[in-house]
Amino acid sequence: MIPYSEIAAELKRRGVKKAALQFPEGLKRFAPELVSVLRKEGITSIISGDPCWGACDLSLDAASDADILVHIGHTPVTDEKNVIYIPYRKDIDCAVLEKAAAVLKKYESVSLTTTIQHSHQTEELAEKLRSLGVNAVVGAGSKRTPEPGQVLGCTYASAKNADCAANLFVGTGVFHAIGVSLATKKPTYALDPYGCGDLQEVSADPLLRKRFVQIEKAKKAKSFGILLSSKPGQQRKELAERLASLHGNAAVILIKEISEMQLRNLGFDAYVNTACPRLALDDQSRFPCPLLSPAEFEIVLGLRAWEDYEIDEIV
């Protein structure tokens, strides 16, 4: 849950008079309660109402009108001053792993990964797996994922650092598990900690088939827009400029929010995404034309073989 009183105490300790508050979409409903708690401590608030997709998407506009930005839900991915990061935590009952262990023990080693909500428990979960006969390994994180075993939709360093024969992702949905599979090229399983403990082996093949279709469509494009995010945690200027230099009719587009209407209005035949990697993989159906990852663009241009396909990560 959100530690309201701890946040208030830390802001008082810092002498904060006005705080900007930022919540991801799933946690915005908690904003009124935090505002109320801070008001009782003499601290006024301004809430960022814009969409927030992670710590890469800091509301620096709201922070400019406050003493500090309180970002709820994530760990830092950039070095920004006057920002407090408050991860959102939710405990898992380790017993949920018992059925999964029967399948996973056949592997020589298994990496354990999860999202920030549960990464405070990675070693506890790994110990449970070990007690059930699974050689569980928690890989070291990275600058963008500082907690062991933590993964994001834009980086899977902890899974790669574990260097195991197979992977287990504990969390809801299969997007991160598919990302782990693509990043490591090893058998990967997903376990929903709020389900009945059933294990699901994920396959990247359906996603890859969809991406192959977009690559083939993009081979007919005569112009390419290279999308460069203006968000500090997503901005990869050198990459965008390098990609633009690979095609005679490509241009870098500085953009904050990527939407269907914006891409239609800009009028390029296809786009290359250097912002959040999830956009090309998760949201292609929203867009009017191919939205490629950097590696996919290189495949289109004949600079990379399809067999060398790799998932886009921000490192």
Which of these, 147, 149, 153, 193, lies nearest to 170 by C-alpha position?
193
User: 11 near 41, Cβ under 8 Å?
Assistant: yes
pLDDT of 53 reads: 87
pLDDT in tens, the chain (315 residues): 789 999 999 999 999 999 999 999 989 999 999 999 999 999 999 999 999 989 999 998 888 989 999 999 999 998 888 999 999 999 999 999 999 999 999 999 999 999 999 999 999 999 999 999 999 999 999 999 999 999 999 999 999 999 999 999 999 999 999 999 999 999 999 999 998 889 999 999 999 999 999 999 999 999 999 999 999 899 999 999 999 999 999 999 999 999 999 999 999 999 999 999 999 888 888 899 999 999 999 999 999 999 999 999 998
pLDDT of 95 reads: 95
Instruction: Please calculate the CA angle 211-213-219 and round it to the nearest 5 degrees.
Output: 105
Q: What is the dihedral of CA 278, 282, 285, 288, to 10 degrees?
A: 10
pTM of the model: 0.91
Beta bridge partners of 167: 111, 188
Q: What is the dihedral of CA 117, 120, 122, 123, to 10 degrees?
A: -170
The side-by-side arrangement of strands in the sheet containing 68-73 is 44-47, 18-22, 68-73, 83-87
Backbone φ and ψ of 313, nearest 5° = -135, 150
